Amino acid sequence: MTTAGPSPRSRTRKEPILERVARCLRAHACTPERSRPLLALSGGKDSTVLAHLLHRLGYRHLAVVYVNHGLRPEVASDETFAATLCASFGWPLYLERVEVRTLAKTEGLSLEEAGRTLRYRCFEQLAERHGLAPVLTAHTLDDQVETILMRLCKGSLLAGLAGIPEHRAPDLLRPLLGTSSAEVLAYARQHGLEYREDRTNADPSIPRNALRLTVIPLLTSILNPSLGATLSRTSRFFAELDRHLVSEAGRLLGPRNTLLRSEYLNQDRVGRYYALKELLNRTDRGGQLGLKTFEEADRILSGSCPTFTLALNRKWLLVLEHRELLLRAVEAPTREPPRPAWLLPGGSLRYELLGLTLSASVETGPAVLPPPSDTLLLALDRCQDSGDEASAPAVLIRPPKPGDRLHPLGGPGHRTIADILSERRVPRALRPFQLVVVLDDRPAALIGYTLDERYRVGPNSRIRLKIIAKRDPAVLHGARIIASTRGEERLETQSQNPGPLANSRPDGPQRLSPDQSATPDHQETHLYPVPRRD
């Protein structure tokens, strides 16, 4: 625990921080007499100072929430500190626990992202349950600067560069956002406040810490001593500009939150982006539309495809039908993923469920690089069964299994297939419908996404397996396009002259001769993203 000792001139110094917080609260109709706010308390310097300020301002009908993320061993003493502080001010305290690691693992999020998601979800639920509003958090000007610079480096657009809003509808308020961390520390010293220190804040291996400890001081000393104030002022203008563009885009949407394709195509590139962004935001408050996803959707919409479905993120599909764009929620598939099946050189596999045909052949001689976007080339020189073209091995095509790993082409090392699909924003419900190529009992490729480095084709590759993935015309117009269906899948082999393995066990992979194919019997296609190549 850290105690900020009182400054020798603390009794004569003015306190603009107190006036600034009071002005922010009044501006948003949060008054001591009428409001019942919920304060998010971590026990750190910023939230402890905000608690002290609120007590001085006379907020007696206030409640406090401490969220245990289950990540730090000293959490018990943090909770004790929070309880002692709240008891001294006469405020009720709610201790909440969230499972950050579980959410991070199941949703493919970083610990920071998962913690933020669960924390704000907890705030909203607690406030609604007990009739508390607004929720108060202790973000400072330094947090604002860090956030803007982090987003700038990651390629955020206008809304991201607008930074952290002081007020977020309906009931979230950040009264310290205009106050620097140095001012907060000075206040803590002036009043001799004790607070908790998070030791991980000094770890330079964490990107945000490195930015705060190294990069921002350097930018401040070299470029702009008033960096915080400058970025704060710029971010407010960006926020106003973003609101204006959102408002203009809203005029394009119909009463059922739909967007005519013709209206979309009449806009310039910025107008198109904001039209799709507003379509998403009206359906999913807080939903994010990244630049890559927008460019993907824009490329498809600018083409001639009359209907399509595109996964915008893990939760929502962008659907074009009857010349209108609308959003639909991703639903879990109602039938089984494709069963494992063998693909022999010269043969093919047909997946009606996926609108996909795979065909395989063997190549020798010089390779044509890079291959077409629908073609996967695997060097077989190091494969155990590939002595020559005649003995080129069959490959097993199957859905991903837990723990599947490969070394993505050009990547630094091995990664799980689950991580690769999560990074590509493939909805969780659809991941079992991806297809893995297995050679030597190990994943050799994830069709449409990447190839294992072991099978990289080079100038000295003398024998290669060529797999062509052909999509049906209805789903050929871009990455992660999806079609939908009902019904149940059944995998069968169809051939006029079935080979001896055509009737292999239904629960195992099928070995098909070159003229056979694995064909489910239904006619419609299911939710499935058309993958893109690295």
The b-or-e profile of 480-504 (16+ CB within 10 A means b, else e) is bbbbebeeebebebeeeeeeeebee
- Is residue 75 pLDDT above 80, yes or no? yes
CATH architecture of structural domain 251-329 = 2-Layer Sandwich (3.30)
- Is residue 481 pLDDT above 60, yes or no? no
Q: What is the pLDDT of residue 3?
A: 63
From 3.20.20.150, 3.40.50.450, 3.30.1320.10, 3.40.50.620, which CATH number describes the 2-139+174-202 domain? Answer: 3.40.50.620
pLDDT (tens digit per residue) in 101-119: 999 888 778 888 899 999 9
| Mean pLDDT in residue range 50-58 | 98
Q: What is the pLDDT of residue 472?
A: 67
User: How far is it, in rounded angstroms, from Cα 69 to Cα 90?
Assistant: 25
pLDDT (tens digit per residue) in 78-92: 999 999 999 999 999
pLDDT band (50, 70, 90) for residue 463: confident
- Is residue 324 pLDDT above 80, yes or no? yes
Helix (H, G, I), strand (E, B) or coil at 66: strand
Q: What is the pLDDT of residue 264?
A: 94
pLDDT (tens digit per residue) in 275-303: 999 999 888 776 778 888 899 889 888 88
**Domain boundaries 341-520, corresponding CATH code:** 3.50.40
pLDDT (tens digit per residue) in 233-289: 999 999 999 999 999 999 999 888 899 999 999 999 999 999 999 999 888 776 778
- Is residue 499 pLDDT above 50, yes or no? no
Q: What is the pLDDT of residue 8?
A: 44
Q: What is the pLDDT of residue 139?
A: 98
pLDDT band (50, 70, 90) for residue 510: very low
Provide the mean pLDDT of the chain: 82
Burial label, 173 (beta-carbon count in 10 A; 0-12, 13-18, 19+): buried
Asked whether 315 and 329 are in contact (CB, 8 A), the reply is yes
| Mean pLDDT in residue range 445-455 | 91
Point out the least confidently predicted range of 34-38, 228-232, 478-482: 478-482
Using only C-alpha atoms, the chain has a radius of gyration, in whole angstroms, of 29
| Mean pLDDT in residue range 170-177 | 95
User: How far is it, in rounded angstroms, from Cα 155 to Cα 148?
Assistant: 11
Q: What is the pLDDT of residue 385?
A: 55
Between β-strands 442-446 and 436-439, what pairing exists: parallel, antiparallel or unpaired?
A: antiparallel
User: How is the chain split into domains, by residue range?
Assistant: 2-139+174-202, 251-329, 341-520
Triad 294, 297, 303: Cα angle to 5°: 135
Backbone angles phi, psi at 30, to 5 degrees: -105, 95
